[in-house]
Structure 1
């Protein structure tokens, strides 16, 4: 995995790097109502999964809004945005911003997703910015670990990968 920085400073990513062709690792995170959600809950669907440091920051806000806007063009693709924000904060943020096409999920409790996908930043207990596409057979078809946590992902490449995974 390439080196990842956050605010220009190197970070240590915990967990395993996920690569194209891998079977997508399962994880357990919390929905906005604090119920548990796993990858297996969306089995049989194409998933575009983003990890972000916090929805309350400019780039994460813009990224989640962008994927929310693009969701209708993707049809049956399930979009999951995972951060370490508390479920209460995610629910408030989604309500305040009209986010209805992206499911926000919290990894604050166990870092289950962060460690399974190699995006848990040890120094900050936040998730590094990354995008994964998982096809309906649970195979990872696209991976982008964004090299600097304050930069945007490659939206076009991720969206094209999600369309191609159908």
Structure 2
């Protein structure tokens, strides 16, 4: 399992770690209207999955804004998903206040289905650990970043490059 810290304190990640080359595990999370969303709902698209601990914090807000900006330029064959354990209502409120309209914010608060399937549940906090996954049109994982310190930014450029490589 990835060695991960939160504010420089070691944390325990629950679930199965995902690697490049794996078939992307399915999951069920909630959209802002409380409807269920699964991996299959975006089948045939390239998925950039941005995982954050909480949308109401500085680094998470920046990460979501950054991928929202990039999403418009990536085209209709790419879907950007931001997943956290925030309540769907909080995600919708934050997106409306920030003008976020190119990413789909999804909540894993109910079952931790995504978090357990991708090995990103922080046991001590019941939050998701900052990470990035790129999944191709055939549900293969092509890029993974488990950010070692949850208060650090992911490598935005590498994640975007991984998406663009699938479009070539």
Q: Distance in 2 between matches of 1:165 and 1:116?
A: 23
TM-score by length of 1: 0.99
State the match for 1:104 in structure 2: 105
Query: Is the CA contact (8 Å cut-off) linking 1:68 and 1:100 kept in structure 2?
Result: yes
State the match for 2:82 in structure 1: 81
Q: Deviations over 1:2-31 (max 9, x none)?
A: 300011100100000000000000000000
Shift of 1:90: 0.4
Q: Deviations over 1:65-99 (max 9, x none)?
A: 00000112211210000000000000000000000
Shift of 1:53: 0.2
Q: Deviations over 1:52-74 (max 9, x none)?
A: 00000000000000000011221
Q: Distance in 1 between matches of 2:163 and 2:113?
A: 23
Query: Is the CA contact (8 Å cut-off) linking 1:134 and 1:165 kept in structure 2?
Result: no
TM-score by length of 2: 0.98
Q: Distance in 2 between matches of 1:99 and 1:54?
A: 15
Question: Cα RMSD (Å) of the superposition?
Answer: 0.6
Q: Does 1:133 align with 2:134?
A: yes
State the match for 2:3 in structure 1: 3
Q: Does 1:54 align with 2:58?
A: no
Q: Does 1:20 align with 2:25?
A: no
Secondary structure of 2:18's counterpart equals: coil
Aligned residues: 166
